[in-house]
Amino acid sequence: MTYIHGAPPKKNKSQYIQLQSISFNAEEPERTKTGRLGFLAGWKMTSDNDDFGGISSMLALPDNRFFMLSDAGVLIGFTLDEQKGIAQRPFVAPLPDGPPVENEFAKQNWDAESLVHDPETGQYWVGYERYHSIWRYGPSFARKEAKHKVKAMQQWPLNGGAEAMLRLPAEEGEADRFLVFSESADYAKGGYQALIFDGDPAEPGNIPKLFGYRPPRGYKITDATLLPDGRALLLHRRFTPLEGVSAIISIGDLSEITAGKIWTSQRIAKLKPPMKVDNMEALAVTVEGKDTIIWIASDDNFQAIQESILMKFRLLPGKEKRTKPKADKPESKDQNEKAEASPGFSSISK
């Protein structure tokens, strides 16, 4: 037997993105509601580009322009023409820079998980797992401007890092605040670790304060964004062999966040089979007239059995009950909790 090894095939760099309309519930076509979400439309997204997929976060910009970021550090962008069901002005391109490889033999693995944007400056911030850092990029992602390998994040699990990030715009003369959520780094008092940055988290001198976030039982946070009223909208996922994949969307009052304490949110909707659902990882909010529109996208993990889907919902009115957070457990000597945090910091304002 003769074996000849040739050069690997060239990567497909197609810039075309196809959209295919999907239904919300194939078993009950008349059903268009789950909790406080009213389904409006949905699309399966595909491309021949080898780097397409793995969507972990997204931004909804003016004029139905979407920027999606894959966990491989690839940007996916297009303008959504909802009437025609097509992706206009699409592109698929890697970030200009990212974390270094772990050693000379390692494969590049940027593992980008979270993304926020300042429309006034045009700057973008990306949260990375594995390297556990926050990077800032200039307008149009032209270049990397700053990076911060955050000390408080270095004990987070390799695949449980900066899964979600929020930028809280400040009033004039004050610094913006940023919240960064770990997917699975345990917080000693319950839930998972999260960080408060006063100012730019990509600047190395910025030392964050620690708090805990308790997601819905059995679920882990995958993304977060802001609602028009200043509250947080949060996305969570779960997978079990018996029940398959599901997702929970919740709303949280940011004024209830205090360093050293546990924060919770209130569930408003759940996606589970036979509803259309996959590994839901990306979340965005827009406004149409008086309606708040919620966009959710999925990470296909670059697997043929999964899909990259984009779903559009209207946020429906509903009564919200304020729930008292459970009492914190006694203080722990855990080193992670000591790191750069202590109780008594002022609360996050809306």
What mean pLDDT, rounded, does the chain reach? 89
Q: Say what the pLDDT of residue 241 is.
A: 87
Average pLDDT over residues 224-242: 95
Band of the pLDDT at 172, cuts 50, 70, 90? confident
pLDDT surpassing 60 at residue 328: no
Residue holding tokens 């079990």? 240
The 3 state secondary structure assigned to 303-315 is CCCCCEEEEEEEE
Q: Say what the pLDDT of residue 105 is.
A: 59
Do residues 211 and 196 lie in contact, with contact meaning Cβ atoms separated by under 8 Å? yes
Average pLDDT over residues 216-235: 97
Interatomic CA distance for residues 8 and 248, integer angstroms: 41
Which has the closest alpha carbon to 18: 116, 63, 85?
Answer: 85
Q: What is the DSSP letter of 164?
A: E
Sign of CA pseudo-dihedral 147, 153, 158, 162:
negative
pLDDT surpassing 60 at residue 163: yes
Do residues 178 and 197 lie in contact, with contact meaning Cβ atoms separated by under 8 Å? yes
Q: Name which residue leads in pLDDT, 325 or 270.
A: 270
Which has the closest alpha carbon to 195: 337, 315, 330, 329?
Answer: 337
**SS3 category, 146:** strand
The 3 state secondary structure assigned to 242-253 is CCEEEEEEEEEC
How many Cβ atoms are within 10 Å of 159's Cβ, its own excluded?
A: 13
Average pLDDT over residues 131-160: 96
pLDDT surpassing 70 at residue 335: no
Average pLDDT over residues 329-334: 40
What is the share, in percent, of the chain residues with pLDDT greater than 90?
79
pLDDT digits 0-9 by tens, 19-37: 999 999 989 989 999 999 9
Cα–Cα distances (Å) from 198 to 112, 210, 243, 299, in that order, read: 22, 12, 40, 30
Q: What is the DSSP letter of 261?
A: S
Average pLDDT over residues 214-242: 96
pLDDT digits 0-9 by tens, 57-75: 999 999 999 999 999 999 9
